[in-house]
Amino acid sequence: MVTFTARRSEPALLLPARPTPRETKALSDLDDQRTLRYYETVVGFFRRRGGDVRAPADPAKAIRAVLAEALVYYYPVAGRLREERDEAAAGGGTGRLVVDCTAEGVVFVEADADVRLEEFGQPLLPPYPCVGELLCDAGDTRAVVGKPLLLMQVTRLKCGGFVLGFHICHNIADGFGMAQLIMAIADLARGAPAPTILPVWRRDLLTARCLDVPVTRTPSSSSSVVTSPAHEPALHGGGAAARPRPAADAMRSTPPDRMVVEYFLFGPREVSTLRGQLPAHLAESTTAFELLTAVMWQCRTAALGYGPDQLVRLMITMNARGRWNAHTPLPLGYYGNAHVSPVAEAAAGDLLARPLADTVELVRRTKRGMTREGMSAMVETVARLREWPPSTMDRVYEVSDIKWTAVNVLRFGWAELAGGGIPLAGDLTSKLGSDHMRCKNAAGEVSTVVSMLLPRVAMARFKKEMAVWLNKDDDKSLTIMSSL
């Protein structure tokens, strides 16, 4: 695997290209979750389109110029977060975050690497070699107050391509919002007079005072779909005090140096093998995301060795802008956090004993059963839980489908996206779940790569479980391996 050291410029503060409003903007209750107080990390690899007369001689300088222009529209991103203490709350409160639109700027770094795009791997799949060289230093990625909200590095490659790597504060934008910002940069880089989609703030739309609906729960035989976060058992009936203290979750007690991350590649053949283990009617109607999520949840539960009576939970992060949410439409251009996280739960023994079809059905009900009432309940619950996450975050497996970010999103015109996604870099605690990312396998087929972070011993068991499901004799053939 290729190794290299990037030659970086000194970090510079990049200001909006023109004067912007000086004001303070409130965040939504979804934005202001304490679990989002970190910088998300993204890398994108771009191939220069040969013969395009519009291609700039220096992609880093071109992107720097259009980023300054994009910040005129996305001017809160050039500001700073401030925490307002809530003296009325018990103990002084944890404080709400607000954005001071000060136009202090974002961090921008230019870099060069003596490596060609094809040296990152064919096909281009995570783990990406020397990914830390493609990102500028964000410092403590869990400290977000008073710091630049975006830190971007553009690394020029020997082949004329480039890598765009950035850290962005998750309180400001979700995955869709991050992609929308990069789309705006790409629009301006193509010579458009303004972003195709203009940003909309409207964070008031996702605050509890606008969504006054009680928390609900829908039982389903021995398992359930929970429409509020998994972090508050008192909201689901039977307070935490009535339950015995559970054994420590290995995912939260294992130190980082004893964890490993691996990436599992699912091409058409692997997905077909898994579909073959479902009844025909379910195989035809189930999406690949639902199918892979069900299999990996079962394998992960087995690998972590939970007791048969311990509740395990699956949290599915969903974009509230989707077609399913026609009952609560968000305006085009909304770039704040608009994700909801319905939760399925089951006893570990029951989950492992049931046929795959039952787990797939539970995943489908969880994902497809989100309602306005459920979404409202989640926002209201988040607003009340200022100290997320309490200890009941144990045994939660979170999954996110971010395959859509690679389709019709990042088009610079003179450069095309060759691959990328969320690497194992930056904040580790945010990587406890799995991201489903779009890629191509060695045969050039559109495929899905799924990240998985586990203790070393559990990872070995996980791979053996996956090998059984995929009828593989060698579990090493399942993964693209990386270790922390």
What residues are labeled active site?
170
Strand partners of residue 145: 81
Amino acid at 363: V
The helix/strand/coil state of 302 is helix
Q: Which residues 6+ apart lie within 8 Å of 396 measured at CB?
A: 230, 312, 313, 314, 315, 343
Task: Determine the Cα–Cα distance for residues 329 and 317; give it in Å rounded to an integer.
Answer: 18
Strand partners of residue 419: 45
User: What's the distance, Cα to Cα, between the start and end of the chain in Å?
Assistant: 16
Q: Which residues 6+ apart lie within 8 Å of 198 measured at CB?
A: 73, 333
DSSP for 243-262 reads SPPPPPPHHHHS-GGGEEEE
How many Å separate Cα 281 from the centre of its chain?
A: 31
Task: Determine the Cα–Cα distance for residues 427 and 424; give it in Å rounded to an integer.
Answer: 8
The tokens 């073959």 sit on which residue? Answer: 276
Handedness of CA 142, 145, 150, 156 (dihedral sign): negative
Strand partners of residue 39: 169
- Show the DSSP H helices in 247-334 as ranges: 250-253, 268-275, 280-285, 288-304
Task: Determine the Cα–Cα distance for residues 142 and 34; give it in Å rounded to an integer.
Answer: 10
The tokens 């379910």 sit on which residue? Answer: 282
User: Which element (helix H / strand E) includes 237?
Assistant: none
Task: Determine the Cα–Cα distance for residues 109 and 165; give it in Å rounded to an integer.
Answer: 10
The answer to whether the bond into 233 is cis (omega within 30° of 0) is no
Task: Determine the Cα–Cα distance for residues 155 and 129; give it in Å rounded to an integer.
Answer: 14
The tokens 């899905």 sit on which residue? Answer: 448
